[in-house]
């Protein structure tokens, strides 16, 4: 027998599978709302001007490409901390915050998971129901048993806060709980700040371990606003892990730009934690790549570029908001009686549209409009050229 004879074919990634099907679709008016990517009004993935300028500077500097430190570029890590905790964070001043550049948000989650498996080998990981489709597999692959806490309430298009709090309250101390700090993927539904305070209180009382995932900072209410939940938990003195992704906010998906930040009890703890985290990184991929990290670091640490970037981020955020509004208005204009007002309130790139799997099938088969079976649509893939068609198609399948 050959060495690999017993290897079974893994199931196809459902979203990538949908993309392939979309690619093969010959219809000229097809629309892909299944993706998790921001497109501009021309339907292109933007190259941000702040990024372009930083890249030009970098190329002109013709810098050598030696190995980076295991934990990456210092200015990048500092920039990531500032985005999370603000300019003058006392936690940073006290040396309680440590950050390592990571291979996107996914890489940050993975090195965090590997680190936690060593620290808390018997803990379970709780993720939201539903959650980003990679959360469960990633933590299981790191050796954890993964459970799901109640989160989305389809009836109200809101958060099932009572169910969530009750579930969290019965978890053993030191259970790791993954939270979407803003712009929940896939639902677009976030707890209110008052609800977050209730959630944080349970973390304190029950000694749960927050692992915040922030992949859409700047896409909700704004850069500062979207970090409010991180700052709330940090302000209460909770030790925590935070995975940041800059894939969307810098439109640098392929550069794998992310960071893992941990907040510990004191400077000495941070030093020890970082030393262990570096071992995790060293044995996985040694050190992160240079290009994306350098570009992000330049943008975060150059006032003019930072200013430009925040404007470009605001443009992306506002465009998504406008698409939400237009979708709701156009559905009404097409005579849809069902209430879609909830779509305006959702945050970030996604919307749990409330469409059933059967309706999603009809959208795809009859109209060439691709969405996820759960009814998740990427609002950031709508544009002035396709939104009329999409609204009409949805109206027809309802």
Cβ nearer to ligand PLP, comparing 135 with 319:
135
Binding track over 239-268 against ligand PLP, x by CB under 6 A: ------x-x----------x----------
Instruction: Collect all residues with Cβ–Cβ distance below 8 Å to 156 and sequence separation of at least 6.
Output: none
Instruction: Output the CA torsion sign for 173, 261, 352, 344.
Output: positive
Question: Is there binding between residue 79 and ligand PLP (CB under 6 A)?
Answer: no
What whole-number distance in Å separates Cα of residue 82 and Cα of residue 300? 9
How many other C-beta atoms are found inside a 10 Å radius of the C-beta of residue 302?
Answer: 16
DSSP 110: H
Spatial contact of 75 and 300, defined as CB atoms under 8 Å apart: yes
Spatial contact of 139 and 113, defined as CB atoms under 8 Å apart: yes
Cβ nearer to ligand PLP, comparing 215 with 281:
215
Cβ nearer to ligand PLP, comparing 152 with 340:
152
Question: Is there binding between residue 203 and ligand PLP (CB under 6 A)?
Answer: no
What whole-number distance in Å separates Cα of residue 332 and Cα of residue 326? 10
Bridge-based pairing state of the strands 209-214 and 240-245: parallel
Residue nearest to ligand PLP (CB): 104
Least CB distance to ligand PLP at residue 215 (A)? 4
Token pair 């430009």: residue: 308
Spatial contact of 229 and 27, defined as CB atoms under 8 Å apart: no
| Candidate segments 74-82, 90-98, 99-107, 140-148, binder of ligand PLP by CB under 6 A | 99-107
> Is 114 labeled as catalytic in the residue annotation?
no
Pick out residues in 331-390 that bind ligand PLP (CB under 6 A).
Answer: none
What whole-number distance in Å separates Cα of residue 45 and Cα of residue 38? 6
> Is 213 labeled as catalytic in the residue annotation?
yes
Least CB distance to ligand PLP at residue 104 (A)? 3
Question: Is there binding between residue 213 and ligand PLP (CB under 6 A)?
Answer: yes
Question: Is there binding between residue 106 and ligand PLP (CB under 6 A)?
Answer: yes
Which of 114, 117, 132, 330 is flagged as catalytic?
132
Question: Which candidate, 257, 260, 262, places its Cα nearest to that of 247?
Answer: 257
Which of 196, 248, 309, 330 is flagged as catalytic?
248
> Is 196 labeled as catalytic in the residue annotation?
no
Torsion region of 78: left, alpha or beta (phi above 0 gives left; psi -120 to 50 gives alpha): alpha
| Candidate segments 92-100, 101-109, 200-208, 315-323, binder of ligand PLP by CB under 6 A | 101-109
Cβ nearer to ligand PLP, comparing 12 with 169:
12
Residue ranges that bind ligand PLP, judged by CB under 6 A: 36, 104-106, 132, 180, 185, 213, 215, 245, 247, 258
């Amino acid at each position: 027998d050959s060495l690999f004879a017993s290897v079974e074919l893994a199931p196809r990634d459902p979203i990538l599978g949908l993309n392939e099907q979309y690619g093969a679709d010959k219809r000229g008016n097809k629309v892909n709302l299944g993706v998790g990517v921001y497109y501009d009004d021309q339907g292109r993935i933007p190259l941000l001007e702040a990024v372009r300028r930083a890249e030009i500077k970098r190329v002109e500097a013709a810098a050598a490409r030696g190995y980076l430190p295991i934990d990456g570029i210092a200015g990048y890590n500092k920039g990531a901390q500032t985005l999370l905790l603000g300019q003058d964070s006392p936690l940073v001043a006290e040396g309680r915050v440590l950050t390592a550049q990571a291979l996107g948000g996914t890489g940050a989650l993975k090195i965090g998971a590997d680190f936690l498996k060593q620290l808390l080998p018997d803990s379970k990981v709780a993720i939201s129901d539903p959650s980003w489709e990679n959360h469960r597999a990633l933590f299981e692959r790191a050796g954890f048993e993964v459970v799901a806490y109640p989160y989305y309430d389809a009836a109200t298009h809101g958060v099932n806060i009572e169910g969530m709090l009750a579930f969290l309250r019965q978890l053993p101390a030191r259970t790791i709980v993954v939270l979407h700090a803003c712009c929940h993927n896939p639902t677009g539904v976030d707890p209110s700040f008052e609800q977050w305070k209730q959630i944080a209180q349970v973390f304190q009382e029950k000694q749960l371990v927050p692992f915040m995932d922030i992949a859409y900072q700047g896409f909700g209410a704004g850069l500062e606003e979207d970090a409010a939940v991180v700052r709330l938990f940090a302000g209460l003195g909770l030790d925590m892990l935070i995975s940041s992704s800059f894939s969307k906010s810098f439109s640098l998906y392929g550069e794998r730009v992310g960071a893992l930040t941990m907040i510990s009890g004191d400077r000495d703890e941070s030093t020890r934690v970082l030393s262990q985290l570096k071992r995790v990184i060293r044995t996985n991929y040694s050190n992160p790549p240079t290009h994306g990290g350098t570009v992000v670091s330049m943008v975060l640490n150059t006032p003019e570029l930072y200013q430009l970037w925040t404007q470009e981020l605001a443009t992306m955020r506002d465009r998504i908001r406008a698409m939400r509004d237009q979708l709701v208005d156009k559905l009404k204009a097409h005579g849809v009686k069902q209430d879609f007002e909830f779509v305006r309130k959702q945050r970030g790139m996604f919307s749990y549209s409330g469409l059933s799997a059967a309706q999603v099938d009809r959208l795809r088969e009859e109209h060439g409009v691709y969405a996820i079976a759960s009814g998740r649509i990427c609002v950031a893939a709508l544009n002035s050229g396709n939104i009329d068609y999409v609204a009409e198609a949805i109206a027809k399948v309802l």
